[in-house]
Every structure is written in structure tokens, then in C-alpha cells.
Amino acid sequence: MAADESDKLVLIAQAHDLLEANVWKDALEQEGITPFLKSLDALKPLGVAPSGGFEVYVLETDEKRARWVLGEGRR
């Protein structure tokens, strides 16, 4: 079964560390948006604790609202 456009993930933010990523994740979840975090740390697959940045993705259908939640629409 082919994925439709609503299944497409879009990058909405890049966090410097896990703490920042989790703050954004919690804010999005409180608004009913499911975020997906991707570690940018190359050592994570080797079992080393993540120390690099994180990318925050949401479904394309949630992009506009997610950007507003993270403050991009308030500038």
C-alpha cells in the first residue's frame, strides 16, 4: 500500500541537545501533535549516550500548527 501525502514527515526544528528536543516534544504533544525525534549523533547506534543535536519532525499535515507551537508564527 502506497503512503499518501499525509504520511510525509517534515523537519520543523533542530535542537542542540536532548533537553531542548524533549521540551519541544512535550509542547507539541500537549497540542495533540505527534513529534518524531532523530538523533544527529553518529555514535548513538554504538550504544554511546547521545551528545549531539536532534532533528524534530512532524507529519506534513501538522506542520503549520507545529511551527506556531514552537514560536515561529509569533515573530
For position 7, what pLDDT does the model report? 85
Q: Please indicate, yes or no, if residue 3 is contained in any of the structural domains.
A: no
pLDDT tens, residue by residue, 20-60: 999 999 999 999 999 999 988 766 656 655 567 899 999 99
Q: What is the tally of structural domains in the chain?
A: 1
Check: pTM over 0.95? Answer yes or no: no
Query: How would you classify residue 47: left for phi > 0, otherwise alpha for psi between -120 and 50, otherwise beta?
Result: left
Helices (H) and strands (E) in the chain, counts: 2, 3
CATH number at residue 15: 3.30.70.1530
Q: Please indicate, yes or no, if residue 29 is contained in any of the structural domains.
A: yes
Q: Please indicate, yes or no, if residue 17 is contained in any of the structural domains.
A: yes
Q: Which domain holds residue 58?
A: 8-74
